[in-house]
Amino acid sequence: MDDRIVKSITRLVIPFIQLYGIFIILHGHITPGGGFSGGTLIGTSLILYTLVFGLLPSKKKFSHRMSQIAESGGIVIYVGIGLIGLFLSGQFLTNLDAGFPIGEPGELFSAGMIPLLMITIGIKVASTMVSLFHLLIEGDLDADHPGIR
């Protein structure tokens, strides 16, 4: 699919999709949506990039090392936030009693740890979708005609 029009359109559209995805993740605690749906949006934009520009350039964009870091990093941050709650107020995953700033309900920086968790889930879902998509393509390539990349 190395059609000139498709490539230029995707180059135009992908930043806006990602921007919208980040918007949904950040406003997770104000408007509907949140980590899962925002992460899927960003993941789909990267999959669109892989579809249009082929596997190898997108592997450079979202390399294997990065997906590994995003995967384990997501859980480490999540558990870290939970541990903050554990140390400060004795129960795992506590929100406001553990000193997370409540802020003004309805504002962007409000609701204590919820936006942080939403961002972690967003990164996690996006990187999982993309690495699964890459793995499935590689698996398929090896299955049909091994060796061709």
Partner 1 sequence: MQIIQAFVDHINFIGAVALFLIGLHTVVTKKNLIKRIMGLNIMGTSIFLFLVAIGNVTGGVPPILQQDPNVNYINPIPSVLILTGIVVVVSMTVYSLSLTIKIYEMYGTINQDELTYLIREEEIHD
Partner 2 sequence: MKKHLLSLLFLIFFGILVYSIMEMPTMQNQEAPSYNEVTEYYIKNAVNDTGSVNFISAILADYRGFDTLGETIVLFTSVIAVASVLRTVKKKEGEDY
Partner 3 sequence: MINQLPIINMLIFLATALIIPLLSKRTFKITLIFGFIMLLCVVTSSFFLIFHIAEHGAILYQFGGHDSKIGIEFKVDLMAAIIGLFVVGLTTIIYIYSCGDETEGVEQKEYGRYYILLFIILFAILGIIYTNDLFNAYVFMEIISITTCSIISIKRKKETYAASFRYVMLNEIGSLSYLFGVALIYMVTGYTNIDWVSQSIQSIWQLYSINIIIALGFMIVGIGIKAAIFPFHIWLPDAHASAPSSSSAILSSIIVKVYIVVLIKLLFKVFKLDILNHFHVSTILVIVAATGMIMGSIFAIAQKDIKRMLGYSSISQIGYIVMGIAMFSSLGLASAMFHIISHGLMKAALFLSVGIVIYKKKIKKKNDFEGLAYEMPITMSVFTIAALGMIGIPLTSGFISKLTLGMASLDHRQGYLIIIVVLSGLLNVIYYLPIIISSFLKSEPNTYHPFKIEKVPWPMLTSVILLGIGILTFGIFPNLIMNMITQAAELFGLI
For binding to partner 2 (CB under 8 A), which residues are involved? 28-32, 34-35, 64, 67-68, 71-72, 74-75, 78-79, 82, 92-93, 95-96, 102-103, 105-106, 110-114, 117-118, 120-121, 124-125, 128, 131-132, 135-136, 138-139, 142
Closer residue to partner 2 (CB): 16 or 92: 92
Residue 102 in contact with partner 1, rule: CB under 8 A: no
At position 11, the amino acid (one-letter code) is: R
Q: Are 64 and 147 in contact (CB under 8 A)?
A: no
Choose which of 58, 94, 120, 131 interacts with partner 3 (CB under 8 A). 94
Residue 21: in which H helix or E strand, if any?
Answer: helix 4-26
Q: Which does 90 bind (CB under 5 to 8 A by kind): partner 1, partner 3, partner 2, none?
A: partner 3
Tokens, residue 4: 């000139």
User: Which residues make Cβ contacts (< 8 Å) with residue 44, sequence separation at least 6?
Assistant: 17, 129
d(CA 90, CA 118): 23
